[in-house]
């Protein structure tokens, strides 16, 4: 029971969601092979505007990767957070300053 490329696996995607890099690749390929943006949007289960933005970014930058987000970077790395959680679970009464 194989799915066609670009078929929605689940409908958990939210409105205004970010497209995966794989999905953007598929959209670019379908549109460059002659499909309209509307047809591509229907095929990939996204809005026509999303398809248009993806094509525009591809034409301007020749890249479909996500751009870096603005904002403050995380204070702790993922590894440091895991370590703190492990310590807190092991010693539930430990005080904040002792961590």
What local confidence, expressed as pLDDT, does residue 96 receive? 78
Tell me the per-residue pLDDT of 45-84, one tens digit each, with 9 for 90 and over: 889 999 999 999 999 999 888 888 888 988 999 999 999 9
What local confidence, expressed as pLDDT, does residue 12 receive? 54
Q: How many Cα neighbours within 13 Å face the side chain of 51? A: 21
Say whether domain 21-98 belongs to CATH 1.10.10: yes
């Amino acid at each position: 029971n194989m799915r066609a490329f670009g078929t929605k696996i689940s409908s958990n995607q939210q409105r205004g969601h970010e497209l995966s890099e794989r999905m953007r690749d598929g959209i670019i390929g379908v549109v460059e092979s002659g499909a309209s943006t509307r047809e591509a949007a229907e095929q990939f289960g996204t809005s026509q505007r999303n398809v248009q933005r993806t094509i525009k970014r591809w034409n301007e930058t020749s890249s479909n990767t996500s751009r870096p987000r603005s904002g403050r970077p995380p204070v702790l790395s993922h590894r440091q957070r895991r370590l703190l959680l492990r310590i807190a679970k092991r010693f539930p009464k430990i005080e904040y300053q002792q961590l």
